[in-house]
């Protein structure tokens, strides 16, 4: 009798186990549908306003053409080992275009807040509010990848260069990490700042100082010591230097040092690891801030 009861209990336990798997699958499918629907909404918005897409392509191209022409006759050997200043400048403009696209990622959420659509999403029966963060990040990652791809192809055609598949993949991984980290910060600002005027003010203040405090326009050795410290704290510096060496040194080893900062030397692997660490840290803090604001 006791054995029969035990067997029935074990049977009931085994019988109940698949239901948890079914519930978890339903949760994943529901969250997947939420993310897809929110991404489609963002694509509809950019389809109605294509100027935001083209401006992200035209602005970096103007920087690349005008700055490259401005310093065309400069003694480039004093600055770097590249043959022309255009070769030195193009990786910096590529990373800066990714940074510019990522910092704009919080603007649609800011307008949703002001027009009341975000309140509708927050009271909707969403499986997880993380879908708001993931949909915005995926959308801006695809848009910035499209914009930077156009700039990379244009710069390669202008310079008559060919990159290997491993180089291209590494470059896009670095750009994706920059996009994810800066995009998450931008989404955090969209939840914390009072309105789009303050958000645009932060964008205008952050753009040029971030560019000039990196190695996009000049090498680290040409900066004063105080600016070298700031540039060493700037994540764009490590992304720019990694792409710069991948761009024009096809046989470079990932373990060879590419940058000597104010404190330590880094190679490409160290730079990517540092960018991954920064991205994870940004995601962690932004997720907690969003949960705090939504609750």
Give SS3 for 266: strand
pLDDT tens for 25-68 read 665 666 677 778 788 888 888 888 777 777 777 777 787 777 77
Q: Is the pLDDT of residue 8 over 60?
A: no
Distance between CA atoms of 28 and 32, rounded to whole angstroms? 6
pLDDT of residue 11: 47
Per the structure block, which two tokens stand in for 97?
């275009």
Distance between CA atoms of 182 and 235, rounded to whole angstroms? 10
pLDDT of residue 14: 45
pLDDT tens for 234-257 read 888 888 888 888 877 666 666 666
* Helix, strand, coil percent values for the chain (each to nearest 5): 80, 0, 20
Strands (E), the chain: 257-260, 265-267
| For the chain, percent of residues with pLDDT exceeding 90 | 0
59 close to 147: Cβ distance less than 8 angstroms = no
267 close to 258: Cβ distance less than 8 angstroms = yes
What is the distance of C-alpha 175 from the center of its chain? Answer: 6
Is the CA virtual torsion 92, 97, 102, 103 positive or negative? Answer: positive
What is the model's pTM? 0.79
| Mean pLDDT score, 188-194 | 82
């Amino acid at each position: 009798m006791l054995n029969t009861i035990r067997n029935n209990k074990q049977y009931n336990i085994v019988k109940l186990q698949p239901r948890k798997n079914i519930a978890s699958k339903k949760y994943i499918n529901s969250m997947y549908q939420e993310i897809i629907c929110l991404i489609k909404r963002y694509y509809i918005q950019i389809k109605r306003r294509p100027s935001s897409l083209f401006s992200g392509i035209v602005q970096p191209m103007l920087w690349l053409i005008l700055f490259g022409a401005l310093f065309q006759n400069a003694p480039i050997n004093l600055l770097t080992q590249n043959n022309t200043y255009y070769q030195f400048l193009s990786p910096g403009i590529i990373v800066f275009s990714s940074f510019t696209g990522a910092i704009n990622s919080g603007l649609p959420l800011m307008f949703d807040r002001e027009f009341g659509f975000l309140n509708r999403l927050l009271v909707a029966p969403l499986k997880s509010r993380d879908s708001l963060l993931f949909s915005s990040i995926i959308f801006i990652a695809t848009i910035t990848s499209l914009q930077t791809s156009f700039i990379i192809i244009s710069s390669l055609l202008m310079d008559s260069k060919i990159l290997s598949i491993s180089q291209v993949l590494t470059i896009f991984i670095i750009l994706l990490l920059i996009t994810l980290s800066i995009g998450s910060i931008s989404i955090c600002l969209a939840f914390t700042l009072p309105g789009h005027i303050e958000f645009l003010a932060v964008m205008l203040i952050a753009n040029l100082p971030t560019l000039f405090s990196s190695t996009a326009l000049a090498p680290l050795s040409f900066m004063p010591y105080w600016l070298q410290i700031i540039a060493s704290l700037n994540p764009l510096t490590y992304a720019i230097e990694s792409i710069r060496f991948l761009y024009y040194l096809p046989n470079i080893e990932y373990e060879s040092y590419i940058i000597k900062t104010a404190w330590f030397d880094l190679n490409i692997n160290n730079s990517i690891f540092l960018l991954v660490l920064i991205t994870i840290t940004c995601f962690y803090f932004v997720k907690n801030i969003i949960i705090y604001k939504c609750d």
